[in-house]
């Protein structure tokens, strides 16, 4: 088991309410706490960069990992079979789980690791009470971690790898292919998953962002609606944070399933990583 990683994560949770911890001169560790609903599915994203955690339990700085074993550690409840265990499920298909008999990770998402930045996931909780999933890793707000195709005429799952609360202006959506309309029903949209149905859209009459959803936040998952305007069809999106506008410029926030608890640093990267889940 990744005992050292788990202890470090628990110390982070117990010792501070900030979502970023800095070790001089520029090491920044970030974490989010996601409340996973009892016996249900909770959507989440990956706001940090994660490192490989080998057998000794010490993260290997500089060796990036997209394996749920390194990202989630020992937190998901194991089971004798897949149907009795908590699941880490990538929203486009593959999943992973922990087997109790030998505490090993199973499933395609582990065998062919693919918890990639920009993607969205579900945590499938089996227990009858809410559980917390803590994701901890290196703050890397540089963006440009690969393109995701926003599918024509439908919703595409997405999450932003960024430790900050970002306003729509800072997401370079328009330059990627996002098209507005005179009313919300004719504009492309970004919806928050698992929330109260909040979304934002682009009003074409004055090129202004509209809607109840004011920011995209660390650790949350979203849907991007591409209405496939004439001649636009599918378009590739690569997050480029240059000039990103924040709601907390002075800065981090520990997020409790997306709800800000306290202010957070906006400084960027080079950190000792800690580690890094529908049926």
8 A C-beta contact, residue 114 and residue 90: yes
Whether the per-residue pLDDT at 276 is higher than 80: the answer is no
What's the pLDDT tens digit per position in 216-228? 999 999 999 999 7
φ and ψ at residue 14, rounded to 5 degrees: -80, -30
8 A C-beta contact, residue 5 and residue 53: yes
Per-residue pLDDT at 244: 55
Determine the Cα–Cα distance for residues 104 and 1; give it in Å rounded to an integer: 8
Of 241, 42, 221, the residue nearest 139 (C-alpha) = 241
Q: Calculate the average pLDDT of the chain.
A: 81
The domains of the chain are located at: 3-140+256-260, 148-251
Determine the Cα–Cα distance for residues 176 and 226; give it in Å rounded to an integer: 12
Per-residue pLDDT at 127: 92
Is the model more confident about 124 or about 267? 124
Eight-state DSSP code of residue 245: -
220-249 in b/e form (b: 16+ CB < 10 A) is bbbbbbbbbbeeeeebebebebeebebebe
Per-residue pLDDT at 119: 97
pTM for this predicted structure: 0.80
Whether the per-residue pLDDT at 262 is higher than 80: the answer is no
DSSP H/E element including 99: strand 95-99
User: Which range among 103-112, 232-241, 268-277 has the greatest average pLDDT?
Assistant: 103-112
What's the pLDDT tens digit per position in 146-198? 999 998 888 999 999 999 999 999 899 999 999 999 999 999 999 999 878 89
Q: How confident is the model at residue 257 (pLDDT cuts 50, 70, 90)?
A: very low
Query: What is the share, in percent, of the chain residues with pLDDT greater than 90?
Result: 66
Is the model more confident about 277 or about 157? 157
């Amino acid at each position: 088991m990744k005992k050292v990683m788990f202890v470090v994560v628990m110390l982070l949770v117990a010792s501070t309410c900030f979502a970023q911890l800095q070790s001089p001169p520029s090491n920044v560790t970030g974490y989010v706490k996601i409340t996973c609903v009892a016996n249900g599915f909770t959507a989440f994203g990956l706001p940090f960069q994660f490192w490989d955690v080998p057998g000794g339990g010490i993260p290997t700085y500089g060796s990036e990992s997209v394996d749920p074993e390194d990202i989630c550690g020992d937190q998901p409840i194991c089971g004798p079979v897949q149907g009795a265990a908590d699941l880490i499920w990538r929203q486009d298909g593959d999943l992973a789980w922990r087997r109790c008999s030998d505490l090993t990770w199973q499933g395609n998402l582990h065998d062919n690791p693919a918890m990639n930045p920009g993607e969205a996931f579900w945590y499938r909780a089996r227990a009858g009470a809410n559980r917390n999933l803590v994701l901890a890793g290196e703050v890397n707000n540089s963006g440009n971690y690969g393109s995701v195709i926003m599918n024509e005429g439908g919703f595409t799952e997405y999450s932003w790898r960024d430790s900050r609360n970002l306003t729509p202006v800072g997401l370079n959506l328009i330059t990627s292919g996002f098209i507005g309309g005179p009313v919300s029903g004719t504009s492309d949209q970004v919806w928050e998953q698992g929330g109260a149905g909040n979304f934002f859209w682009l009003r074409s009459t004055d090129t202004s962002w509209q809607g109840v959803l004011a920011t995209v936040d660390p650790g949350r998952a979203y849907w991007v609606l591409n209405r496939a305007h004439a001649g636009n069809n599918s378009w590739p999106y690569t997050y480029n944070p240059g000039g990103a506008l924040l709601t907390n410029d002075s800065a981090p926030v520990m997020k409790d399933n997306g709800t800000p608890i306290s202010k957070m640093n906006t400084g960027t990267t080079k950190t000792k990583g800690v580690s890094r889940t529908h049926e």
